[in-house]
Amino acid sequence: MNIKAFWNRTKNLIKEKCVTQAETAAACGISHSKFRNWMSQNKVPPINVANRLALFLGVSLEYLISGQGKDKFSLVNEEVIVLLKEAERKLTEIRRRTS
């Protein structure tokens, strides 16, 4: 993994999202100073933090790591939405039967 590229992609996505590094760090559950240090020292964040970072920025973890698969997150979201709608439909049916 090219950690410099990881942080460059992260910085670009933060700009695209129009949020600050402090807001991004807070969304990941870490301090701004820790986040800033990882970035400036090109340190690899723990996988759970990297995953929260990807989720917050709206991309896949694969994209942050490799630069590929940027749109996978949206595909997963679409699948989740379909499943949630199906679950909602089934719950509505069950409620009707029991009323």
- Please give the model's pTM, rounded to 2 decimal places: 0.69
Helical H segments across the chain, by residue range: 3-17, 21-28, 32-40, 47-57, 61-66, 72-98
Q: How is the chain split into domains, by residue range? A: 3-98
Question: Which fold, 3-98?
Answer: 434 Repressor (Amino-terminal Domain) (1.10.260)
Q: Find out whether 72 and 43 touch, Cβ atoms under 8 Å.
A: no
pLDDT tens profile 60-85 = 888 888 888 766 555 555 666 677 77
pLDDT tens profile 15-49 = 999 999 999 999 999 999 999 999 999 998 999 89
